[in-house]
Amino acid sequence: MTPLTDRRGAPAAEVSSVAPTVIVGLTLALGVADFIYAVERIVSLALGALLTILLLPWARVVLKRDGAERSRLRRVALQAGLIALAGAFMVARWSVYNDALEHPEISYAGSYRNYSVGHVVLMLIGVLLRGGRMARLVAASASRPARLMVATFGTASVVGALLLALPVSLNHVESASLLDSLFVATSAVCVTGLSTVNVADTYSFTGQLILCALIQIGGLGIMVLAAAVTMLSGQRMGVKSSAQLAEMVDAGSLDELKRTVKAIALYTLAFEIAGAGLLYAWFSSIPETGTGPAAPGGLAGAWHPAWAAVFHSVSAFCNASFSNFRDGLMPFTGATFVTATLGGLIVAGGLGFPVLNELARRAYDALRRRRARRLTLNTRVNLATAAALLVGMGLAYGLLERGASMRALGLFDQLTGALFLSACSRTSGFTFVDVAAMRPATLLLTCLAMFIGAAPGSCAGGIKTTTFAVLFASYRAELRGRRPTLFDRAIPAAVIRRAMGVGFIATILVFTIIFLLTLFEEHDVLALSFEVVSAFSTTGFSTGITSSLTVGGKLLIVATMLAGRIGPLTLGLALSAESKKPAFELPEERVMIG
């Protein structure tokens, strides 16, 4: 049978494979040259023209589908979005080039290289994921929910970084690099709050809007958000997507999954709308909260009091601790109304959606004068552990920081400040005191609180309060020679093994990152440890060293934030191979412990 050929007699398969190879080679060569000769008047003009011309054949290659692949709207939309983003980066590159010619006294080389590199990377990604490769990659990730979670958070971080790096998102194009954008976007998606730049001074209203959207996506979870939109619009989810989401939110049936997803969406909207309304009532009385980044003062940068209220409400409930005020919450020292509102949102977001749902049902029964349903063990453990940590850390801050970071405050402000710091210490890095001025003992206790984190199913990270409670109960039972129990219930052995696995993996991960940072960074070990634990627990507290980290240090913190948001056990399952039943059982033998 004669093979299919083109007009010149060459096999069609060979012809189709030549164009992508040529495009990749030209893109790499032109990209490297454009990086080296940044903002050179004639050379950059010629290289930019060639890269712009190359966009058309590249777009055709990206949109071309495999012969056996059926065209799908979702795939075409993703590819069109990639093409639009690459075009936007090329437009940004030309804009910076023109600015450099008009203002030779300002150095635009760094910004120029950012957009040049971003454009080249997008073109390479487009070629690598052309045709059905993107669909096959998604299918491979979707086969295991743990890998799907890693892929979605990673993809959201990269896409968010590209959007935050666009000129429309920045007040000044030279104010943030691609690495800064990646760091901030990852911090937002992982609802951490660590930042290498000042949000108010760096990002325009559009950039802050993108940042707020990333925080909301990270707080709800990408699959939960997509499922909520699908269900609320009256559409149906696929069987496979439903099964994957049910495993992620621990739902036992499809009906329970629907109730859980709708409850998550409704609780989020209710808390955030209520919080925004309360904050707006306060912010609207302060004219400075409605000024842009060009205005002086610590409350400048939010553009409008309503936007400041919405941004802080979303950030607080999702436990992200980002602020679009220049000095964050520092100007609100002693403003009990603001700290109480934000503290309530933080605590609610840290309790977790399953706990909020159960408390709401119990409150509904009380209003209807029905017999209150018994709280599940999960809810009782979460509430008891959160209350104990809240009180314990509040006392610690009140006693240890009276003569340190809070010495300038009055007695009442110290009490309310200690409670607010306690609420933030495990979940959100909002603060109105200088963390770097805290005593070393306070920083160590804060590391412990951050490492524990909040409840499972919440917006926060850490090993989770239930894990800590189960480990505590297990060690207590081992000392007494009894079976581990919490309240009036025995703990299954599988739950204990899972808690030990989470604690072990988290400890090894945090220790490894701290060790690597001490090899490359000049900062104090305690400050580095505090930064790593804060990133892993997605808390956002910092002693102020984030922006001064090296490139390698920032990338390590980015990886730590992703690992902490995904969860140590989920990350381990995503990286592990498929488990297979062993063909035979090995004999047992005891080893000495202790």
What are the structural domain ranges in the chain?
8-143
pLDDT at 227: 57
Give the integer Cα–Cα distance in Å for 318 and 268.
9
DSSP string, 232-277: HTT----HHHHHHHHHHHT-SSHHHHHHHHHHHHHHHHHHHHHHHH
> What's the rounded mean pLDDT across residues 537-562?
88
DSSP string, 12-31: HHHHHHHHHHHHHHHHHHHH
Share of the chain above pLDDT 70, in %: 81
Residue 278 has pLDDT above 90, yes or no: yes
- Give the residue among 183, 185, 207 at the shortest CA–CA distance from 196: 183
Give the model confidence (pLDDT) of 435-452 as tens digits: 888 899 999 999 999 999
Residue 12 has pLDDT above 50, yes or no: no
How far CA 287 is from CA of 51, 275, 324, 498, 575, in Å, comes to 47, 20, 15, 52, 51
pLDDT at 250: 54
pLDDT at 448: 92
Give the integer Cα–Cα distance in Å for 513 and 587.
37
**Residue, of 363 and 6, whose pLDDT is higher:** 363
Residue 223 has pLDDT above 60, yes or no: no
> What's the rounded mean pLDDT across residues 395-415?
86
Burial letters for 489-503: b for 16+ Cβ neighbours within 10 Å, e otherwise?
A: eebeeebbeebeebb
pLDDT at 13: 43
- Give the residue among 569, 567, 529, 531 at the shortest CA–CA distance from 548: 531
Pinpoint the alpha helices (H) of 284-352.
305-317, 336-351
pLDDT at 137: 57
Length of the chain: 594
Backbone angles phi, psi at 545, to 5 degrees: -100, 0
Residue 574 has pLDDT above 70, yes or no: no
Give the integer Cα–Cα distance in Å for 456 and 388.
17
Residue 572 has pLDDT above 70, yes or no: no
Give the integer Cα–Cα distance in Å for 180 and 161.
8
> What's the rounded mean pLDDT across residues 506-531?
91
> What is the DSSP-derived secondary structure letter of residue 332?
G
Backbone angles phi, psi at 485, to 5 degrees: -140, 155
**Residue, of 95 and 368, whose pLDDT is higher:** 95
- Give the residue among 61, 53, 32, 67 at the shortest CA–CA distance from 126: 61
pLDDT at 513: 93
Give the integer Cα–Cα distance in Å for 541 and 341.
19
Give the integer Cα–Cα distance in Å for 443 and 386.
19
> What's the rounded mean pLDDT across residues 25-38?
82
Pairing between β-strand 489-490 and β-strand 485-486 as defined by DSSP bridges? antiparallel
- Which residues lie closer than 8 Å to 236 by C-beta, 6 or more apart? 230
- Give the residue among 310, 448, 455, 440 at the shortest CA–CA distance from 377: 455
